[in-house]
Amino acid sequence: AQTVTQSQPEMSVQEAETVTLSCTYDTSENNYYLFWYKQPPSRQMILVIRQEAYKQQNATENRFSVNFQKAAKSFSLKISDSQLGDTAMYFCAFTAYNTDKLIFGTGTRLQVFP
Amino acid sequence: EPEVTQTPSHQVTQMGQEVILRCVPISNHLYFYWYRQILGQKVEFLVSFYNNEISEKSEIFDDQFSVERPDGSNFTLKIRSTKLEDSAMYFCASSEASGGVETQYFGPGTRLLVL
């Protein structure tokens, strides 16, 4: 069975600083996708970034980047130049190529301080 | 930007009652999903739906649950006889394709409280 683990229940960072959120996963699949979703206090979960397992290059989206280590089954999210609007719950998620379902971690609550 | 919408935002019901949660997926999406999040726990997959059929479901999705696309825009989750443990946030999602090839877009959720 696939699992996703986020070992940091809460993190905090000062505005303009960099923070890294950790995620590890377990799977026997070779083709899969990994995601980071953000859930602000307003509740709507929105996609931050995605990574295809077959791609060696780490995905980046503006201030957000990932460190994807396939052998170690690690998928961390780095937020650079943190902004107050980054305050949210962040979920790491996994899906195998041949399935519909997303498997989520327990989330990391990130607080950005001025 | 197109969004998934859900109604109602909050629902309170008595144990044993039927509830219907409604979702309007993004209009050109073909795959629809329901997830739930019990307070303080993980977001869990319930069911996926494509071409008017369930394509995948979890162990949670038992006979008390059903899904339907009654018209061209709505996607509903029905809980026939609610239990206390059904209290959770229910999220609808949609995507253009399945299997992670296309991103799933989530609605804001319906908070269900069963008393």
CA-nearest residue of chain B to A36? B103
Helix (H) or strand (E) holding A113: strand A108-113
- Burial of A41 (C-beta count, 10 Å sphere; 0-12/13-18/19+): exposed
User: So what's the pLDDT on residue B17?
Assistant: 97
**Residue in B3, B99, B103 closest to A100 by CB:** B99
| B99 pLDDT above the threshold of 70 | no
CA-nearest residue of chain B to A44? B108
CA B113, CA A39: separation in Å to the nearest integer? 21
Give the best residue of B50, B55, B103 to mutate against chain A (max A CB count within 10 A).
B103
User: So what's the pLDDT on residue B70?
Assistant: 86
| B44 pLDDT above the threshold of 90 | yes
Between chains, do B108 and A99 touch, taking CB under 8 Å as contact?
no
Which of A38-42, A77-81, B75-79 has the least mean pLDDT?
A: A38-42
